[in-house]
Amino acid sequence: MTGLDRNSVRRTAVLAGAALIVGLLPLASAGTAAAADPDPVPVDRFEGEVPFASQPAEGLFTWGGDADDPPELTLAERSDAPEGTKVLAGDYDISGYGGFTHDYAADRPGHDWSAHKGIRFWWDGQDNGKKTAFEIKDGGANGEASELWTTSFTDDFTGWKQIEIPFGDFTYRTDYQPVGGIDQVLGLTQMWGYAVTLPVGAPGRFAMDDVELYGKADQSLRASVTTDAAVYPVKEGGTASVKVSVATTGSAPIDEPVTVAYESAGGTAESGKDYTPVKGEITFPAGTESGASRTVRVPTLRDRTAEAAETVPLKLTVTGAKAPAETPQVVIDAHGLPYLDAKLPVKKRVADLLSRMSLAEKAGQMTQAERGAIGAGGDIAAYDLGSLLSGGGSTPTPNTPAAWAKMIDGYQLRAQATRFQIPLIYGVDAVHGHNNLAGATVMPHNIGIGATRDPALAERTGAVTAAEVRATGVPWDFAPCLCVTRDERWGRSYESFGEDPALVESMETVVQGLQGDRSGKDLKDDDRVLATAKHFVGDGGTAYGSSTTGSYTVDQGVTKVSRQELEAVHLAPFQEAVDRGVGTVMPSYSSLDLGDGQGPVKMHARGDMINGVLKDRMGFDGFVISDWNAIDQLPGDYAAHVRTSVNAGVDMMMVPYGYKEFSATLIDEAKAGRVTDRRIDDAVARILAQKFRLGLFEKPYADTGGASAIGSTAHRAVARQAAAESQVLLKNAGSVLPLKKSQKVYVAGSNADDIGNQTGGWTITWQGSSGNITPGTTILQGMRKAGGDVTYSKDASASTAGYDVGVVVVGETPYAEGVGDVGNGNDLELTAADKAAVDKVCAAMKCAVLIVSGRPQLIGDRLGDVDALVASWLPGTEGDGVADVLYGRRAFTGQLPVTWPKSESQLPINVGDTSYDPQFPYGWGLTTLTTVPGGGTASLRALALVAAAAERAGADTVARTAVTKARLLVQQKIGTAVTAASAKPFADADHLLLTGRYADAVAKLTQAYRAG
């Protein structure tokens, strides 16, 4: 007998049994059920109708935490298949997480499942007692940008069993993006498929068949009652209006009546004294259109007494539909208390508010959660949370300025339900523009800003970033990074302005761009944000191989330095930041070893540095925010993590998904006396002071007046200038650059036409990604817009005949933090494809090679074949700026912010090293459109006299011009024949220039000239 015949016999038997059972039932019941239930709708039969494919096509695909975790899937013929002849079968051995997904095609509309009761499928039980997660995908743009709704079933049976899951059993997943970004309602009208997450820990196998929708949806499943908000703040004496609506999936009218009984009850307000009690019932008759609403009004009473906020819950009892997820609350605003008086000094407002707060409220202010962890936001008031953040890639859906503002306003509304209505302070990593927001102006990363040597421009980039960030309702930026990068194998090296602390200090004008005046008086403005100096201290000095985190090699490692080197190199930029009034400081994940016998100690535990140096010696009066889950890296149990970090001086803890545990533990530690009241009061006072300075108590909600300027022409013009000034011309034999518009230009290389590669990590998502991820202009597009006669062949496979010059744009793909560490799957070599493109183009014609990367790439073996070489860094969204210098609209003026090595074995290599023999020294940068001084040593002597006289007179601009002329003169002589004898004094000269020792700088350049 064939498998098909056996299936037919089995199904015939099942149907016969079912018919017998139906025959025993009362006739009316059987007839009603048959008429009411729609036919099942197949989702997956596993007969080959759905291919193994991923988005945007419809298909089945696997995924997992690492290379071993995705299961192996097959469409296997089985004689016992519950439906058809094939089943989906697989083997798995998962250590982290893994499973498979069926996504519908992203280029077609989502499916409507709203007519059905639930989803079911056959599962071949192994009786292993393990739980398997089953998820469905709702809303959003496609299956990979949708909400996940999850449930699970236990494999406690043997053989085939049909698993039926009513849609009402699914719960919203709060640990998956886009959490909070669509509507957190299982609408069922825009479904994108399902996913199965398999058990971990031991090898296993599974088989599955016939996924389908079944049953008729109950009205209570497809109809719901909602209110237009969860919180209704109202001034004392005012009336709150609570809008109650009924809605259905698919927007069909309701077919049964829905009643909503309401009653004001409970809460902290006193009935009859603080408000007039209300009680009644609303009826939505059968046939009522979806979206219909009624209003319940709750009057409050004026008692002329200064007091904290009071709550009036409006209890709703719903019949015939799903009730709201939570009880709406009317909140009578706090009033008459000194801390609410904006005319009082900040110090007095802080003291008054602090004196009124409970320990739990203080612990809440010291707690920061990730938006993805708090669901609809009820925990904001429940835990008195002081802060939320968006981690890299944690964005609303759609990822628009309006959606950001709406999301954050919703969270701020939740904070109004707390006793003192202390607003949240919301933070983001806007490290090169509002980089999480699609369509924002993305600046060059800091390494490129350092290359500009232009403090005024750095300040302007900060101002643009601040304006775009604040316009979306975000008042706090986790930037700038003031690390001094000392080893370009570090995956965060592009977040640094450079390897010289003097260069980093000079770029700290960005703090004023973000915050405005050093006094903090501008922070309340709608185009300023609170800045964060990070990562305190020494994260740029971690030694290769010292990382304490996973497969990282450099990031989060150990910085082993003397106290003298720590002061001179790593601490100096933080003193500058404190002097500039920076509002917050973030400690580093890394450890510090000062050779004092303590060994490496994590920075989040170093009270000597946070309390002793930063707060006491430097006079920092802002607050210290931890890095993401950083306290989990401290020794001891969780209570030890909390008390150690808080006692070390960390004021607010970034505990994205562990906010409940942190708050509870801090309270316990305080009650036990292991964290003092004084320490907690100091932390909370610092946090409240910045909230007052930001004007959040008066204006907690987004001021979107500046939203129209996000990504505007004016803002992009600043980014374009920064991109142009960041370009460092390392070689220019035969004056290949600038290009002429009359030339026929052959463009090739992986990074010529890729906005994702061009913007790098921390763009839209934490790690960034290749491709068309945000609006902008690629380098290729910029060249075409500049009027160039350009032909493009990414891999240089097109014919190279007939061109005047080639431009090959090569380099890195995006990464962030330790993921990008050399040795963690990365190196400093060009890819094989990039090398092939360089070789082919440069063999056929004069060529310029542009390296788009977060750090130097090893190019020495090809340097002789390349006519012009440009370090383009990560220029951001404005490729026009790169084209501006390529075509001579602007001169090349950038200088190396880090030393360019000859080989990886030279690393670390930095200005000031005793042994120093790089490919190109720190400070190197040729220019175009400028006449280079001649005259050799005679000119250098004259320039030395000018520099010395200007230095004595305090004429910095004149002195700097003299040093620049001397530098250009020296570079022209040295050319590409850089030697150790010329490189060291050349690099030293740029450090001396940055520290205002202009005469000494020219003397060093003269030494380099003679050596060259």
Instruction: Tell me if the bond preceding 185 is cis, omega within 30° of 0.
Output: no
Question: Rounded CA gap, 822 and 557, in Å?
Answer: 13
- Residue 46, amino acid: F
Count CB neighbours of 127 within 10 A: 11
Alpha carbon distance 703, 93 (integer Å): 51
Tokens of 388: 């939320």
Enumerate residues 6+ apart whose C-beta is below 8 A from 776: 442, 755, 758, 759, 876, 877, 878, 879
Distance of CA 137 to the CA centre of its chain: 23
Q: Which of 386, 402, 458, 397 is nearest to 145 (CA)?
A: 397
| φ and ψ of 333, to 5 deg | -55, 145
* CA atoms 632, 636, 639, 644: torsion sign: negative
The helices-and-strands tally (H runs, E runs) of the chain is: 26, 37
H-state helical runs in 695-778: 713-726, 755-759
Catalytic site includes residue 361 = no
| Cβ 373 vs Cβ 172: under 8 Å | no
How far apart CA 573 and CA 536 sit, in angstroms, is 10
What is the per-residue DSSP string for 124-152?
EEE----EEEEEEEESSSSTTSSEEEEEE
| Cis peptide bond upstream of 111, omega within 30 | no
Give the span between the Cα atoms of 602 and 889, in whole angstroms: 49
Residue 105 makes CB contacts below 8 A (sequence gap 6+) with 56, 57, 58
Active site residue: 725, 817, 834, 988, which one? 817
DSSP symbols for 833-871:
HHHHHHHHHHHHSEEEEEEESSS----GGGGGG-SEEEE
DSSP annotation string for 554-605: STT-EEE--HHHIIIIIIHHHHHHHHTT--EEEE-SSEEE-SSSS--EEGGG
Rounded Cα–Cα distance for residues 535 and 627 (Å): 9
Radius of gyration of the chain (CA): 32
Phi first, then psi, for residue 502 (nearest 5°) are -65, -35
Backbone phi, psi, residue 41, to 5°:
-115, 120
Report helix, strand or coil for 415.
helix
Cα gap 972→940, rounded to integer Å = 13
DSSP, residue by residue, 18-78 = HHHHHHHS-HHHHHHHHHHSPPPEEEE--SSSS-B--TTS-EEEEEESSTT-SPEEEEEE-
Where does residue 468 fall: left (phi above 0), alpha (psi -120 to 50 degrees), or beta otherwise?
alpha
Return d(Cα 610, Cα 604) in angstroms, integer. 8
The answer to whether 274 is a known catalytic residue is no
Answer for the pair 179, 110: CB distance below 8 angstroms, yes or no: no
Alpha helices (H) in 482-530, listed in sequence order: 501-506, 509-515
Q: Which of 83, 627, 878, 1000 is catalytic?
A: 627
Nearest one of 721, 719, 713, 714 to 891, comparing CA atoms:
721
3-state helix, strand, coil in the chain (%, to 5): 35, 25, 45
Strands (E), 715-804: 728-732, 744-748, 789-792
Alpha helices by DSSP H, 175-259: 219-222
The catalytic site residues sit at 627, 817
